[in-house]
Amino acid sequence: MTTACVAGGAGYIGGELIRLLLGHPRVEFAGASSATLAGRRIDGAHPNLRGLTDASFTEPGRLPRCDVLFTAAPHTRAMAAVREHLDTGAVVIDLSGDFRLRDPGEYERYYGVPHTEPELLDGFVSGLPELHRAEIATADRISVPGCMATAAILALHPLVRSGLAVGEPRVDARTGSSGSGASAAHNTHAERSGALRVYAPLGHRHEAEIRQALGRPVRMTVTGIGAVRGVQVLCWTRLAPGAGPREVRAAYRTRYAAEPFVRVVAARRGPHRLPDPKILAGANFCDVGFAADEAGGEVLAVAALDNLVKGGAGNAVQCMNLRLGLPERSGLEFSGLHPV
Amino acid sequence: MITCPECEGRVAAPEEPRVHEIVECAECRSELEVVGLDPLLVALAPEVEEDWGE
């Protein structure tokens, strides 16, 4: 059976990767490393995994050989971690921001440090199946996009590809606290509960990913909210002359008709008219929807996802399935909960 | 199959349709009222709007 390991398994994304791999019908979880919790049981850091594994974290560099290696080290530290594992022969799927941007100058501008492995950048394929399915199927190095970038790209891509969007889209993103990671010091309940913290009013690093994927500039604002999981993006852009709600709906319907994990949600009535991350916790879906003015106006594109699943670990497993030639939904069938 | 007059989505026709019968569009969730049988015709059903607050 195919084996998979997680380098950097103590964080929230690492925990989600281990959870999904333990439940995967065609892939065997073979181990996880942690620089901070080596020797400790995995189900100590991730108590939802009690009874599912007796394994402990290994030291970095002591993972067993495997077919697929997920690297979930923090941004700016993943560069070195990935370099260490390139000679093992494993397919590397990186979940940090370190291999998402093609231009090392752009990386330094958004991440504040020079890229130490710029010669590796061209070898990575963007791990967004909805845009790069064919390349992922043959790639040995895959870089999974950021959670808010994934939502914004999937929200805007049908409009940009069909020529319905003109001008510079504006992305208003809202994110739950788990997006800050397991060790974020400012994420205490006292600080986060009930918050509407505009922590990146301009120039969030995911802005660069969206621009790279769509091929046009965007502006982005990010607000931290009180939820634990979930991302929602509201993306405003002008419509091409003559375009209205019917053309917009047709663009979304056509673009996502065959996608297993993107659902178009734009209902006229009921409480669930547009995408809401609340019902997506634990699921690999990205729901996208819209509201459009009549001809010549603006369109509001909305997307929602679980930042740890379709915005991270689930998307990475989807990439693994594609790379291994497995059914794309393998291990990712969970529908989410309602009510939750 | 019939076409939703709101979103142009495909809606399964009732097996034995009756005038004033309501069917729901799976895509935009509009309620559609059967207004004719031969040919089968549907129109947006009147609805009482929800109060969405201030």
**Tens digit of each residue's pLDDT (9 = 90 or more) over B5-54:** 999 999 999 999 999 999 999 999 999 999 999 999 999 998 665 566 65
Buried b (16+ CB within 10 A) or exposed e, A218-240: bbbbbbbbebebbbbbbbbbbbb
Q: Which residues of chain A make contact with B8, given a CB cutoff of 8 A?
A: 246, 249-250
Using CA atoms, how far apart are residues A255 and A155, in angstroms rounded to an integer? 11
Running along chain A, 340 residues long, what does each successive block of 10 average in pLDDT?
A: 96 97 98 96 98 97 95 92 88 97 96 96 97 98 98 98 96 93 82 91 94 97 95 98 95 97 94 96 98 92 98 98 98 96
Q: CB of B7 within 8 A of CB of B25? A: yes
H or E, element range at A237: strand A231-239
Q: In the A/B pair of chains, how many CB contacts fall below 8 A?
A: 25
H or E, element range at A20: helix A12-22
Whole-prediction pTM: 0.94
Residue B51 lies in a domain: no
Residue B54 lies in a domain: no
| Burial environment of residue A86 by CB neighbours within 10 A (0 to 12, 13 to 18, 19 or more) | middle
CA A194 → CA A4, A188, B54, distances in Å?
Answer: 38, 12, 20
Q: CB of A17 within 8 A of CB of A6? A: yes
pLDDT score for B49: 58
Q: Which residues of chain B make contact with A250, given a CB cutoff of 8 A?
A: 8
pLDDT score for A185: 74
SS3 A73: coil
Q: How far does the CA of residue A81 sit from the closest CA of chain B (Å)?
A: 45
Q: Give the CATH number of domain A147-305.
A: 3.30.360.10
H or E, element range at B23: strand B22-24
Phi and psi dihedrals of A167, rounded to 5? Answer: 80, -165
| β-pair type (A196-200, A141-143) | unpaired
A156 contacts chain B (CB < 8 A): no
Q: What is the DSSP letter of A90?
A: P
A294 contacts chain B (CB < 8 A): no
> Which domain covers residue B27, as residue numbers?
2-44
Picking from B8, B29, B30, the nearest residue to A246 by CB comes out as: B8
Q: Catalytic residue among A5, A147, A286, A319, which?
A: A147
Q: Is the peptide bond before A327 cis (omega within 30 degrees of 0)?
A: no
Number of domains making up chain B: 1
SS3 A220: strand
Q: Where in chain A is the domain with CATH 3.30.360.10?
A: 147-305
> Which of B6, B7, B24 best tests the A interface by mutation, with the highest count of A CBs <10 A?
B7
H or E, element range at A125: strand A125-126
Amino acid identity for residue A250 in this structure: A
Q: Where in chain A is the domain with CATH 3.40.50.720?
A: 2-123
Using CA atoms, how far apart are residues A90 and A94, in angstroms rounded to an integer? 12
Q: Comparing C-alpha atoms, which of A10, A53, A47 is closest to residue A32?
A: A10
pLDDT score for B51: 64
Question: Two tokens at B32?
Answer: 């559609």
Q: Give the CATH number of domain A2-123.
A: 3.40.50.720
Q: Which residues of chain B make contact with A264, given a CB cutoff of 8 A?
A: 27
Check which CATH number belongs to the domain holding B26 and give it: 2.20.28.160
**Which residues are within 8 A (CB) of A192 and not within 5 positions of it... i.e. 6 or more apart?**
A177, A186, A224, A226
Q: How far does the CA of residue A266 sit from the closest CA of chain B (Å)?
A: 6
Count other Cβ atoms within 10 Å, centred on residue A39. Answer: 9
Q: Which residues of chain B make contact with A253, given a CB cutoff of 8 A?
A: 9, 27
Please state at what angle helix A129-136 crosses helix A314-324, rounded to 10 degrees: 30
The runs of H, that is alpha helices, within A100-146 are 104-111, 129-136
**ipTM of this complex prediction, to 2 decimal places:** 0.75
A286 is a catalytic site residue: no
Residues pairing with A232 in the sheet: A174, A304
Residue B27 lies in a domain: yes
